[in-house]
Amino acid sequence: MRWLRLLTMLLLVLFVGLQYRLWVGEGGRRSVAVLEQQVQQQTRDNQGLQQRNDALAAEVEDLKSGEAAVEERARSELGMIRPGETFYRVVEPEPAAASLPAED
């Protein structure tokens, strides 16, 4: 009977040790939950980057195939105009400065 009690205690200690490792230890439920959260965050980041890559690829294709996109970029970024066009610049007047104190 004593060996049965010893065997039961040994099995109980082994069971508790395995449960601890399952719930708390490395590779346990907690670390798996943390890894799943990291995977979800990385998936969201990847989706955003994929959308950005798609937009850049579309812009590259547009620049390669069409003259309109090149012209639009030249006008907006470089301030270029076509031959025969007249460039007008509208300058907003600066607001009148508040009366400055006279220097003595």
How far is residue 48's CA from residue 52's CA, in Å, rounded to a whole number? 6
Give me the residue spans of the domains in the chain.
Answer: 29-83
- List Cα–Cα distances, 33 to 3, 29, 30, 59, 100, in angstroms: 41, 6, 5, 39, 65
Neighbours of 63 (CB within 10 A): 14
In this predicted model, what pLDDT tens digit does every residue of 1-30 receive, in sequence order?
788 888 899 999 998 888 777 777 777 777
Q: Output the pTM of the full model.
A: 0.45
In this predicted model, what pLDDT tens digit does every residue of 45-93 receive, in sequence order?
999 999 999 999 988 887 788 787 778 878 888 888 888 888 787 888 8
